[in-house]
Amino acid sequence: MSAGHARAAPVEPPEPRQARQGGRVRLDALEGSPLQAPGRALTISRFLQMPPLLAAASPPPLLLLLLFCCAAQAAPSGHEVTYLPGLAKQPAFKHYSGYLDAESDKHLHYWFVEAQGNGAADKPLVLWLNGGPGCSSIAGLLTEHGPFTIQPDGSTLGYNNYAWNKLAHILYLESPVGVGYSYSDSQDYRTNDTEVARVNYLALKEFLRLYPEYSSKDLFLTGESYGGIYIPTLAQWVMQDPSLNLKGIAVGNGLSSYETNDNSLVYFAYYHGLLGSRLWSDLQASCCSGGKCNFHDNKNLNCTLGMAEVIRIVDESGLNIYNLYAPCAGGVPGSYRYSDGMLVSYDLGNNFIRQPLRSSWREFLLTLPVASNKARLDPPCINTSSPTTYMNDPQVRKALHVKDNAPEWQMCSFPVSRGYKRIYMTMNDQYLKLLGSMKYRVLIYNGDVDMACNFLGDEWFVDSLRQKVQVARRPWIYTDENGQDQIGGFVKEYTNISFLTVKGAGHMVPSDRPRPAFNMFQRFITGQPF
């Protein structure tokens, strides 16, 4: 939980109302039905159920059929992207961009890319959420696994040979409200874990209202980083909605538990040569007892002092926290800087939040009297200039149907991050509910050189769920560009859940290791063994 915030009681998704009666689907009983502002399909359904006032006034049956077909198959007018600046050649597949009005005052921007290639009509629907909290999922599209890859000049796009939309229709949603081009009429961007899950669920329902032809498709919820919170909490809503065909979830380098993430990171740092033997001995003496170490919230003074040194090395020395072996774009950053009258913060606030050094920094951020347009949040060691330049191009905004009053696009939102309440400290209960149903495939995958959400912490977390092991930890194989088998990483498979590492990848796995990442994703959504 962020410093300075009281713990709020989690809001659990409601039990679904009975949506089927007498062999018919009651549209008004489905979760998220827009009863006060019904869409086309719901309006026509109600019209069809009304008794005729005059037999002569009844429209011809063929006309009704045509009306219903149009409502059920047509994408929303004005959302299709007919020309995307920066591409040498426009794509053969369709893609759409616009707003999903999750509530009357909450407008979430999305970019939806249809599947490409043979058999596209039979491919599943995938929702993708980047993390933060407060970072845009468009980063996932333009820099990780989308069909278009931003080039260093910030004005041209290339095609991604390992685009995940070769395997699925993918919805990239800018969430929470306040991220990217998403906005609220009130401009109040304070939010929390449970509110984000609820609004994301409503946005997904609104998407399927606008694109009803996708409502019966297999659905997968996927995300990265703080998506480790977003995705399981959203799944609690989706799994209770009988109108949604949820098949599974996948989380990459996710924050699954603050405690295991913190405790494992210290081990990761020591065994990767970042901590000297003196510091390690001091930590063992002051933070550990009975063979168990608590680096997460230990109150021992000597442990606190040792952990302050760990934080300075891991987070503040200039190492790339997202990829230990990659250079830091822009050189060694501090925790923040001022640039052209703007405060630029580099701290997303996910590691060691219970340590005094980290919590005092969060308190400092919360008390800063800075206007939202005078502050920026940049992920450390990541060059955000290319996607930022591209997304703020007036022609790109027009092509993506961005509202004129939408703010300037930034990869991460300082107001959202600063005002975010972290309610859940672990996703244990959420995963156990998913696994207890025995209906869903679950994948937790990690690049093995990431320090933001390290592989060891997520492996410990999966082990703590105490599921039955089906396949012991072993290497998994993919075929490289030369047709040779290579080790992609390691995998351990349990009943309905798999933990997998990607060798040589950091926090953004598809960016660092696109080919094995594509192979992994393909096996996951098709249900093939790793």
- Residue 421's DSSP bridge partners are 192
Query: 219-224 and 246-252 as β-strands: parallel, antiparallel, unpaired?
Result: parallel
Q: Which residue in the list 450, 498, 511, 512 is annotated as catalytic?
A: 450
Q: Tell me if residue 450 is catalytic.
A: yes
| In 174-257, alpha helices (H) | 193-210, 227-238
Sequence-distant (6+) residues with CB within 8 A of 311 are 351, 352, 355, 357, 358
Given a contact cutoff of 8 angstroms between Cβ atoms, the answer to whether 137 and 175 are in contact is yes
Nearest to 174 by CA among 134, 114, 142: 134
- Rounded alpha-carbon distances, angstroms, from residue 406 to 178, 288, 393, 401: 10, 50, 13, 11
- CB-based burial label for 297 (10 Å; 0-12, 13-18, 19+): middle
Q: Which two tokens stand for residue 255?
A: 């924050």
Report helix, strand or coil for 374. Answer: helix
Q: How far apart are CA 201 and CA 196, in angstroms?
A: 8
> Integer distance in angstroms from the first to the last C-alpha of the chain?
35
Q: Which residue in the list 225, 256, 257, 498 is annotated as catalytic?
A: 225
Q: How far apart are CA 488 and CA 524, in angstroms?
A: 14
Q: Which two tokens stand for residue 500?
A: 């997998």
Report helix, strand or coil for 249. Answer: strand
Residue 103: phi, psi to the nearest 5? -140, 175
Q: Tell me if residue 225 is catalytic.
A: yes
Q: Tell me if residue 272 is catalytic.
A: no
Q: Which residue in the list 109, 417, 507, 512 is annotated as catalytic?
A: 507
Annotated catalytic residues are 225, 450, 507
